[in-house]
Amino acid sequence: MPELALDIRNLHAVIEEKEVLKGIDLEVPKGEIHVIMGPNGSGKTTLAHTLMGHPRYTVTQGEACLFGEDLLSLKVHERARKGLFLAYQYPVEVPGVTLSHFLWNACQAGRSGADGNGKKNPKEILAFRKRLNAALESLKMPADFAMRHLNVGASGGEKKRVEIAQMQMLTPRMVIMDEIDSGLDIDSTKVVAEGIRSLKGSEFTALIITHYPRILEYLQPDRVHVMAAGKVLCSRGMELARELEQKGYDWILKEFNVV
């Protein structure tokens, strides 16, 4: 049996006393790209935030393991240092902090467990800048974007590309992408998909939440899961995403008796 990057068993979670996750069972083997699709309100974003440790979401039952380790017992920064990364549907703007400064400190903290404010090695800084410039170039972004304040004044497409640049620089082991393709035009979707595909390998695992099969045609995920009413209803191959695009969700909700 392959090693599981993410192993979720009977996970229940509430927000403001409302139960949103109602028994999630999900396995994502190491090195695979999996997709979650489902109608609005099915709990997809709640699942992402719960796994990352958002304080508004409370787990009431079940378990989740990251590479065999109890994920739910870890604080948010500990989850990040274990290699868990969340790409937001709506990336936040951080005035006063450049992309370069943010990523330098994140890389240093992730490597050493420190706060990233230690003595700087000139050769290390040069290597970092080369890597960042290469990441931006691969995403068809100008090099001076590194000196812009994080996401400030950026378009929706640029913010999503910055999320991919962060993945390329931080090399997380397990990535959750919450509608990374939301609001992207055709060209931006291709660029983002190519950026994700460039990371694919035995040390990169991804769980992508999306409504749109277009990006999946570029990524060719290993597994597609359908989520509704706080549960994972079924899991199949890429053909399931194509069927959902043609038929919508009504047929599968009826098949599994979801009202």
pLDDT per residue as tens digits for the range 67-113: 999 999 999 999 999 999 999 888 999 999 999 999 999 988 866 54
Cβ atoms within 10 A of the Cβ of 249, count?
A: 17
62 pLDDT more than 60? yes
Asked whether the beta carbons of 121 and 65 are under 8 A apart, the reply is: no
Query: What is the C-alpha separation between 99 and 146, in angstroms, rounded?
Result: 5
Whole-Å CA distances, 37 to 44, 138, 224, 241: 8, 28, 7, 8
Long-range CB pairs of 139-146, under 8 A, 24+ apart, other chains included: 139/164, 139/165, 139/191, 139/192, 139/195, 140/191, 141/165, 145/99, 146/98, 146/99, 146/100
Q: Provide the residue count of the chain.
A: 259
**What average pLDDT score do residues 220-232 get?**
95
Q: Which domains does the chain have, with CATH numbers?
A: 4-255 (3.40.50.300)
Q: Tell me what pLDDT residue 121 has.
A: 80
Taken in order 174, 26, 208, 182, is the CA torsion positive or negative? Answer: negative
148 pLDDT more than 60? yes
Asked whether the beta carbons of 209 and 44 are under 8 A apart, the reply is: yes
pLDDT per residue as tens digits for the range 111-139: 654 444 556 688 889 999 999 999 999 99
0.95 exceeded by the pTM?
no
